């Protein structure tokens, strides 16, 4: 195969997802430069410092996403590799607790070129693990077998991240895993009562400080954040300061904005202007209309991923897409909610737009997982169609975790390939994955 053909084949992925990913990343670069230029100039003497770093992350992220999309089959179906990856994550989360810490949190490992945040990578690893085991045990009616592995992995990760402390990541991880578990359709009661659990969790933020302060692993400044987002004007110079400055940025921008690079809030008034509160700067400089356009594009991407997930015939591909869609939805919702005063400020970045190496690489990995899932599912459908044309009605087989059948030995490489078995029932009885 010619080099040109090989390169062309690399980009044989879902064009809509890839283009939106690149567009949002490019727009994020522009806004990161604008939002960080003043801070960068005053702190390191170079207004382009954060722009250059984020550009490197974006280029690396695109390469990673394309690589995963084309070569994911070599490791996604390998249970041993999954276990090794998860074990490495646990070791990193333990190691990070020995670090000095930044702003009171031990969440990063200084790698000189950038700070690595292992807790960010936990999100995509847990999505992978969930898709793997939900697929593996999808025919099981034993909830312990179905949920033990992914939920057990989540609990251990959450405990280690909570100790850092990083409550924002824990909140996103738990909510993400819970919603993904609901997509298995195993428990109708769980689906029914999930809304009640969410309401109770939200009402938790209205508890008096005398109760919240006794909860393990929650620091005093985190307590303040929980209480302040309902009414930040109670402490305008303390815990409510960042929220108020975000409101002022949106108010100054109005509908049309003050003009690109003309933000006042970024000049030392709004903390984390180029990270967690990047959307506030977008609103101040480009106006509320552009904010809405950005949000429409972002949520279109998320809804498109959900739509593609529903069309997948492979259970693994479906769960992988659902996991990524839920992850992007939850993280975006928490970030936007914090800006609008609907959720506590937890230091959660906005996917694709906020500055941050670890967060952007994780978002890129997530996009790569979706691109791989859709590409893999297309191959599965084509193989299924071939079997049907040959007069065979087939049912998706477990890719991993099966015992030897018909005295045939399977190598790790062969396990990665989709296998089939005869189905005695009619084609319309083919299992609908989401319904369990």
Band the pLDDT of 353: cuts 50, 70, 90.
Answer: very high
pTM: 0.81
13-23 per-position pLDDT tens digit: 889 999 999 99
Domain ranges of the chain: 13-381, 384-435
Report pLDDT for 203.
72
**What mean pLDDT comes out for the span 272-278?**
89
**What mean pLDDT comes out for the span 365-385?**
89
Please give the mean pLDDT across all residues of the chain: 80
Our CA angle for 72, 73, 75, nearest 5°, is 75
Q: What sign for the dihedral angle of Cα 261, 54, 287, 168?
A: negative
**What mean pLDDT comes out for the span 111-134?**
88
Structure tokens at 135: 């697929």
Report pLDDT for 199.
76
387-422 per-position pLDDT tens digit: 777 665 444 444 434 433 433 443 344 444 444 444
CA dist 124 and 134 (Å) reads 15
Band the pLDDT of 88: cuts 50, 70, 90.
Answer: very high
pLDDT score of 197 more than 50: yes
292-305 per-position pLDDT tens digit: 999 999 999 999 99
Q: Are 58 and 25 in contact (CB under 8 A)?
A: yes
Report pLDDT for 147.
80
CA dist 73 and 199 (Å) reads 40
The runs of H, that is alpha helices, within 143-276 are 143-163, 167-182, 188-203, 209-212, 220-228, 241-253
More confident residue, 407 or 53: 53
304-337 per-position pLDDT tens digit: 999 999 999 888 999 999 999 999 999 999 999 8
214-244 per-position pLDDT tens digit: 666 566 656 666 666 667 777 777 777 888 8
157-181 per-position pLDDT tens digit: 999 988 887 888 888 898 899 888 8
**pLDDT > 70 in the chain, percent:** 75
Rg (CA), the chain: 23
pLDDT score of 8 more than 80: no
**What mean pLDDT comes out for the span 352-356?**
92
């Amino acid at each position: 195969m010619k080099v040109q053909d090989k390169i062309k084949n690399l980009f044989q992925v879902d064009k809509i997802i890839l283009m939106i990913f690149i567009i949002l990343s490019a727009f994020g670069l522009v806004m990161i430069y604008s939002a960080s230029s003043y801070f960068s100039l005053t702190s390191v003497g170079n207004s382009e410092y954060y722009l250059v770093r984020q550009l490197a992350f974006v280029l690396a992220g695109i390469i990673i996403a394309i690589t995963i999309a084309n070569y994911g089959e070599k490791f996604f179906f390998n249970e041993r590799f999954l276990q090794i990856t998860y074990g490495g994550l646990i070791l990193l989360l333990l190691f990070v607790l020995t670090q000095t810490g930044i702003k009171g949190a031990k969440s990063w490992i200084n790698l000189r070129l950038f700070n690595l945040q292992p807790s960010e990578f936990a999100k995509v690893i847990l999505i992978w693990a969930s898709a793997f085991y939900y697929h593996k045990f999808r025919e099981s009616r034993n909830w312990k077998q179905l949920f033990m592995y992914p939920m057990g992995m989540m609990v251990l990760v959450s405990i280690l991240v909570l100790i850092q402390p990083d409550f924002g990541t824990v909140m996103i991880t738990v909510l993400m895993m819970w919603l993904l578990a609901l997509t298995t359709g195993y428990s109708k009661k769980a689906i029914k009562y999930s809304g009640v659990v969410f309401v109770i969790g939200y009402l938790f933020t209205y508890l008096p400080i005398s109760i919240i302060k006794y909860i393990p692993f929650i620091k005093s400044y985190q307590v303040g954040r929980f209480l302040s987002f309902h009414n930040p004007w109670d402490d305008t110079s303390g815990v409510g300061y960042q929220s108020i400055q975000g409101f002022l940025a949106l108010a100054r921008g109005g509908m049309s904005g003050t003009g690109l690079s003309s933000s006042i809030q970024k000049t030392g008034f709004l903390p984390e202007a180029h990270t967690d509160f990047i959307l506030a700067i977008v609103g101040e400089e480009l106006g509320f209309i552009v904010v809405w356009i950005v949000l429409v594009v972002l949520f279109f991407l998320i809804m498109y991923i959900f739509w593609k997930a529903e069309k997948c015939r492979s259970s693994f591909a479906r769960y992988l897409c659902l996991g990524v869609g839920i992850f992007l939805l939850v993280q975006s919702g928490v970030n936007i909610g914090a800006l609008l005063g609907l959720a506590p400020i937890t230091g959660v970045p906005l996917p694709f737009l906020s500055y941050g190496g670890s967060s952007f690489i994780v978002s890129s990995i997530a996009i790569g997982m979706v691109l791989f899932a859709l590409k893999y599912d297309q191959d599965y459908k084509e193989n299924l169609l071939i079997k049907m044309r040959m007069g065979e009605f087939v049912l998706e087989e477990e890719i991993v975790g099966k015992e030897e059948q018909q005295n045939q030995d399977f190598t790790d490489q062969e396990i990665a390939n989709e296998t089939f078995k005869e189905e005695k029932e009619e084609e319309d009885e083919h299992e609908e994955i989401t319904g369990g």
